[in-house]
Amino acid sequence: MSHDRTEAPSQPVAGRATVLVGMSITEANRRDELLAEAAPLGATTAFLQQGEPSLSAELTRLADAGTETAVLIGVRLGASGPGHSWLRRIAAHWWRERAGHRPALLVATRLAESADAVTAAAASVKPITGEEPGLTSPAWEEVTGHRHQVMVCRGPRCTAKRADDALRSLVRQLAEHGLGDDDVLVVQTGCQFPCNQAPVISVQPDDVWYGHVDPVTITTIVADHLIGGRPVAAHRLPRRRKDPRNHEED
């Protein structure tokens, strides 16, 4: 028997709350869009990562306020981010761990991938039962064996300069070369500096930084640096070093 419910939280209901949940750093950077979409629904906002309040903190606030039902709508506006299953995992983890009053949790059965799609995504919801998978798995026990870690800046300026295009190209290029997390670990970060060179990525442990990165540049970086071992001079940024004399004792 299906547990889906086809009722959209288009208007606030007593004892019922709606939360738009940003799935990735993109939504944290585009918080104003999320808030604008939340307002007509009488909804609040929360984030799975790199944004405040966290989903767990918002659910705790609602529970402490006596909310009877919370409807969660995942929103993913960028090129990548956790899958829908992670929204259910995090919500279920909170529900199992919560002491005291727990509101019923209803989760939209699909993500809204644009601001305009929020209402449509809310049209079908499925309850959290507490039997959802937990936060651990044998596959996530150890640090991967990666040779390189690519840090993609997703600070406000880099995001405004289309860092998501560079990220999308990076993920695609690595997949086309058969490279996974055990080869190159891709991480999205907050501001890395220098913002004037946005979009910025850095490659560790090589201590190589690249600026003005676009999908074409990514193709060269993957082929020449991550595979060939030769940093790409054309987009490499100089690294300012501290003068050790500034740290000498008088």
Name residue 74's beta-bridge partners. 21
What kind and span of H or E run contains 151? strand 148-153
| pLDDT at 61 (0 to 100) | 97
| pLDDT at 60 (0 to 100) | 97
pLDDT tens column, 163-219: 999 999 999 999 999 999 999 999 999 999 999 999 999 999 999 999 999 999 999
Which parts of the chain sit beneath pLDDT 70?
1-14, 243-250
By residue count, the chain amounts to: 250
What residue type is assigned to position 231 of the chain? P
Name residue 44's beta-bridge partners. 19
Residue the block writes with tokens 């040779």:
147
| pLDDT at 153 (0 to 100) | 95
d(C-alpha 11, C-alpha 38), whole Å:
11
What residue type is assigned to position 102 of the chain? R
140: alpha, beta or left? (left if phi > 0; alpha if psi -120 to 50): alpha
Q: For residue 114, what are its two tokens? A: 């644009």
Residue the block writes with tokens 């790199």:
50
Q: How far is CA 97 from the centre of its chain?
A: 23
